[in-house]
Amino acid sequence: MNIAFVYDRINKWGGAERVLLALHKVWPEASIYTAVYDRKRAAWAQVFDVRTTFLDRVPWARKHHEWYPWLTPLAFETLSFDEYDVVISITSAEAKNLITKSGTLHICYCLTPTRYLWSGYQEYADSSKVLPFVAPILRKWDRIASARPDYYIAISARVSQRIQEYYKRDVVRIITPPVNTDQFQIGHDDSQMGERPFLVVSRLVPYKRIDVIIAAFNQLGYPLIVIGTGSERERLRNLARKNITFIHTHLTDEQLVGYYQRCRAFVFAADEDFGLAAIEAQACGRPVIAFGNSGIAETVIHRKTGILFYKQTPNELIRAVRQFTSEFYDSRTIRRHALSFGVEPFAKQMKETVLDLYKKYI
């Protein structure tokens, strides 16, 4: 099979980008198509043959793609995939807008239906003067695009539910994103558990609900480290007390592993699609405290590999943290659970699924 990948935009580093690198190991010859490519902010993509749309040449589009919501769907529609047997769109936004002819199979590995239009609409609308006015037409375009993939694969049951709700499409399989469990390992920190900081690793954007975590830890007084950057950066810093430390600089994977290994627990309060960082923490033997109505809940065994709470409020998180501090969690048990989300199981499932769907298609 001659395979191509299509991704929304290559201009950052995060969980979805780790998925792309894992797919590259499965199909190293596959080119990747994207709306825009910022080489300085996405050095990880140098291993790919990256091909961009006309949007990449539009002023400011690489750093401010959100200024062109009406152009991005069109940009993907102009691409040609006639030379490929299979196209895999890896998307949480516009990449599924691509158009293929009858001889090319289009599989969508859906990270979530376009968040700023559906599940996260209110958070984005509250911080945007434009989105409430353009959302109706963008939703119409998004529904049209959602009919174009021949098959959907979802990253979690939570995302599968959203695909059914917003796009009225069925999912052929759930394949969870991979974690490099060889790299994310249990550490050897001899400090007392009570002295270790709690940890957040996340983009600082509204739907991640870092504000809930900060409000809770302002009251608890426990040390908390927040790693990440985003549009909420300054607001969150202004909310935080002295027990909360922010790290905005880019970290190598080795440095990030060190923070996971030395933390008391990983904390997350968002309705997350899957939550790759939570698996990375568990691979390092660290428990997770997370919102239960979320994709993360599918990866945490309550009171065995972490604690789940079910209201996105500071008081509910405080209750969960206090329950957590009164219990014991075995790092080896936590890591064994994380191993099922490794790169090898992911690669095996993706290869089998793509081949099976291609056989059905032809």
pLDDT in tens, 181-197: 999 999 987 677 778 99
Homologous superfamily assigned to 193-340: Glycogen Phosphorylase B; (3.40.50.2000)
Q: How far apart are CA 288 and CA 303, in angstroms?
A: 10
Sorted by where each begins, the domain ranges of the chain are: 3-178+342-361, 193-340
Tell me 247's DSSP state.
E
Identify the pLDDT of residue 183. Answer: 93
Q: Which segments of the chain have a pLDDT < 50?
A: none
CA neighbor of 320 nearest in space, from 357, 278, 287:
287
- For 123-151, write each residue's pLDDT tens digit: 888 888 889 999 999 999 999 999 999 99
- CB distance 183 to 358 below 8 Å: no
Q: Is pTM beyond 0.75 here?
A: yes
φ, ψ dihedrals at 325, nearest 5°: -70, -15
Size (the chain), residues: 362
| Same fold: 3-178+342-361 with 193-340 | yes
Find the distance separating the first CA and the last CA of the chain, reported in whole Å.
11
Q: Say yes or no: domain 3-178+342-361 is CATH 3.40.50.2000.
A: yes
